[in-house]
Chains A and B, each alone.
Chain A
Amino acid sequence: MAYRKTVASLVAAAALLGTSNVSFAATEISWWHGMGGRNQEVINEISEKFNASQDACHLTPLSKGTYEEALNSGIAAFRAGEQPNILQVFDAGAATIINAKGAVVPAEDLIKDAGHEFSRDAFIDGVRYFYADKDGKFIGMPFNSSAPIMYINDEALKKAGVEAPKTWEEFETIAPKLKEAGFIPLVQSQLTWEFTENFFSRHNLQFATNNNGYDGVKDTKILVNTPEHKMMYSKLKEWYDNGFFGYYGAGWSDNQKPFEENKVAFWIGSSGSFGGLQKSAQMPFSATFLPYWSSVEGAGTNSFIGGAALFAFAKKPKEENDCTASFFQFLTSAEIQYFWHKSTGYVPITKAAYEMAQEQGYYKETPQAEVGIQQLMLKGGEWSKGYRMGFYPQIREIMEREYNKIFANETSVDDAMKTIEEEGNKLLERFAKTAG
């Protein structure tokens, strides 16, 4: 009897403690992301700033490894009912989470429900559509946005006596001179993102049927097996054979390294690479837009945003969602965007933040930091808003496999594109069945 009483009073005490916690302490919200190194530190700093700025909410960020790992931890947690409030999802995974109806609360609804103002016009054009539905409603909140840009080895150009090219045609004319001067003219770090996805955006070419996949998952087909896209890869292979293009496999840093070591004239990397490159490059460097083929009509449009967005998971209590909304508001404020932009190299996503960076003279000191956002703000085209394909991370893996085979002389460009088209469409069909 006495034992029972003790238990009962303990339970009562715990219940009391529990209620008092709710009434006095801040609402806890969690944020899972896929960033490491310096970027992770900056995320922690931003979270601390948010926690210090108000008392109602307390945010805890947690790195889950890479982008792919973060997405899949989030999915597994959602299935177990233990999802975090906020999940960072990368560009290629956008279709997976946006097509899962009921998994997320659209960022726009979340912010409006919490009683905040929301204006799509406050965001720069280039980031507005990628994580939105076909009517332009924000599903994810763009966060770390980047663009594939071309980094230039100033020393190499001086030695060869040439100017940085705007188009691939210009590149072809100067490549032999750079080679003669002892440099590999061109390297890149991610063919799928820089020479496939953004080949379509920079040339304003359709990447997938169904309005680039935005109109639905059924019968969406990938359009990689097209003359322009094949031409790009035939040229890359030709340059590779002539020593104008260096290729070191599908890994990002294996390809970046020779540029850092002053062996390469141009490197296609991410605008987000800027911070790291400032420390690692052994020579002065500048940056410019990702080149395009002037022979393709209507080319020169803006690129897709790379990077990732933040998604608010569904099935969370209202007070937590309100906290997530106030964090999104905090994150998109000009000061925080400018801080993020400066600390990491990712582009500011609001017009106000971009103006603030201009006013404070940031681009006068470091003009390279402005290239990414300028490229995203170039004139947009019908096909440069975004693409949405299910199982896209796997389609990227097929591309990586076939592209490597091209440079290892194991396949031809024609066969590679045919394989990507066939296997890619098969995956899209599978995805349509799962989402249907």
Chain B
Amino acid sequence: MKRVQFTNASLPYLLLLPQLAIIVIFFYWPSAQAIQSSFYLEDPFGFGSTFVGMENYTDVLGSNEYASIARFTIAFTLLVTFLSLSIALLLAVKADAVLKGSSTYKTLLMWVYAVAPPVAGLMGVMFFDMHIGPFLKVAAFFGWDFKIGLNYFDTAFAMVVIAVWKQIPYNFIFFLSGLQAIPKSVREASMIDCRSGFRRFWSIILPLLAPTAFFLLIINMTYSLFDTFGIVDVVVKDKAANNPITLVYKVYMDGFRGGDLGGSSAQSVILMLVVFVLTIFQFRFIERRVHYG
């Protein structure tokens, strides 16, 4: 096979240039800036900055507050990812099996995806509102004195529910199309071999869904880590106080609200490293088990 297909050696680079330019301007350049300013202590207006070495990092990593936010972020990410994936999968499998009126079911399950994240957050907040929220009445009926915004666990509960609710339709769409892509002949063959629906699902359907599931796993983890920012923001209503927040929200609070550029840059570099490690882990250890048909 002929390997070089361009006659002009610089043409491929030229064609790559627009894409590379975008990546450099919007990713590498800001990242380099963040890494640089994480070693400095700077006044907000940029009049003077002092090199402080690793001090911003030691300050952040030595803080109890940061540790507890990190713990919450991990728990939150695992919970949201697990719940939104498993509930969506369950719904997709059931919707796939429905014969009559299936499009109605599907539309009902999908429409939430069309709701913009801040609007979804707002609807969730209304649902849990301490004065008018219908959920509070339900909780009170079971003797649960639900205090959003004051009780750490209650606020976390509301955040997880809203974040999961918002993500289910997205996962549902992918799982459903993944299920529909499984060849009918394979299903029929498995029907003959095995009578147990659960075993059929476990050993035939699920492995065939694995590429979709792997893709969704990555997307959902990034979603819980970063895209839930808007949900956290509307739930805490601008006042984080003792409420649970995620690491990204902490970067925003210190950098954009507090004007501490050095400290917040150090935090975003830490986050970058976390994502880097997570990506390597996912592709090295999980993707190996995924079978692409």
Report A's interface with B, CB cutoff 8 A.
66, 68, 71-72, 75, 78-79, 96, 99-103, 247-251, 254, 257-258, 391, 393-394, 397, 400-405, 407-408, 410, 423, 426, 430, 433-435
Contacts and interface: CB of A to CB of B under 8 A. Distances in A.
B260 A248 contact: no
B240 interface: yes
Closest 4 A/B residue pairs (Cβ): A249-B149, A250-B239, A404-B242, A250-B241
A83 B110 CA distance: 45
B241 A410 contact: no
A71 B254 CA distance: 14
B150 A404 contact: yes
B258 to A, nearest CB: 4
A249 B241 contact: yes
Interface string B249-269: 000011011111011000000
Nearest to A249: B149
A393 B239 CA distance: 11
Interface of A is mostly: helix
A393 B258 contact: yes
Contacts of A402: 242
Contacts of A434: 41-44, 48-50, 262
Contacts of A247: 150
Contacts of B130: 248-249, 254
Contacts of B148: 249
A308 to B, nearest CB: 16
Contacts of A100: 43-45, 47
Contacts of A101: 47
Given A75-B259, A393-B258, A248 B45 contact: no
Contacts of A435: 43
A433 B41 contact: yes
B148 to A, nearest CB: 8
Interface residues of B, number: 37
B163 to A, nearest CB: 20
Contacts of A391: 258-260
B291 interface: no
Interface in B25-67: 41-50, 52, 59, 65
A420 to B, nearest CB: 12
Contact of B242 (A99, A401, A423): A401
Contact of B259 (A96, A250, A400): A96
Nearest to A257: B131
B239 A400 contact: yes
B240 A408 contact: no
A72 B42 contact: no
A55 to B, nearest CB: 34
Interface string B191-221: 0000000000000000000000000000000
A281 to B, nearest CB: 15
Contacts of A426: 59
A394 B242 contact: no
A421 to B, nearest CB: 15
